[in-house]
Structure 1
Amino acid sequence: MKEGFLSLIKAGYLLLVQAKAKGSRTTHNKIIYLLSFPSTSEPVLEELSTHFGSRLVICYTNNCLKEAQKFQNKGIEIYSIDHLTDLLLHVVPLVKGAKTVLCDNYFAFLGAIDFPKTSEVIQLWHANGAIKKFGIEANYAKNRSASDKKRYKQVYKKYTHYAVGSDKMGAIFQESYLAKPEQILTVGYPASDKLMSSGWRARQEARFSERFSEIGKKRILLYTPTYRETDSENPLDFDRLAKELGDEWLIFAKAHPHDNKLQEKLRTSKSVTSDLRGFSLQEFLPFVDCLITDYSSVPFEYTLVKKNGKVLFFCYDMEEYQKEVGIQEDFESWVPSKITKTQEQLTTEITNQKPQEIASFNSLWNQYNDGQATQRLIQRIEERT
Structure 2
Amino acid sequence: MSWRDELRPASFRGVAFETRGHELGGGRRLARHEYPQRDEPYLEDMGKKAREYKVQAFVIGPDYRAARDALLEALEQSGPGELVHPFFGRRSVVAGEFGLKESTEEGGMATFSLVFTEAGKLAEPDVDIDLPAELLASQETAFDEVANDFAESFDVSGLPAWSLDDIEAAINDFLSLDAFKAVANEVSGFVSRVADLVMRPVDFANSVIGLVRRLTDVSSILSTPYMPVRAWRTQSVQAETTTRGVVAKQQAAVNMLFHRAALVQETATLQATDGPTALETRQQVEAARQLVLEHFDTHDVTPGLPRPAPALAAALKALQVNTLVYLRRQSAALPQVYALQLLEATPAVVLAYDLYQNLRADEIVRRNAVRHPGFVPAGVPLEVTSQ
Would the TM-score normalized by the shorter structure come out above 0.5? no
TM-score using structure 1 length = 0.22
TM-score using structure 2 length = 0.22
Structure of higher CA gyration radius: 2
User: Looking at both structures, which has the greater relative contact order when contacts are Cα pairs under 8 Å and sequence separation is at least 6?
Assistant: 1
Higher strand residue share: 2
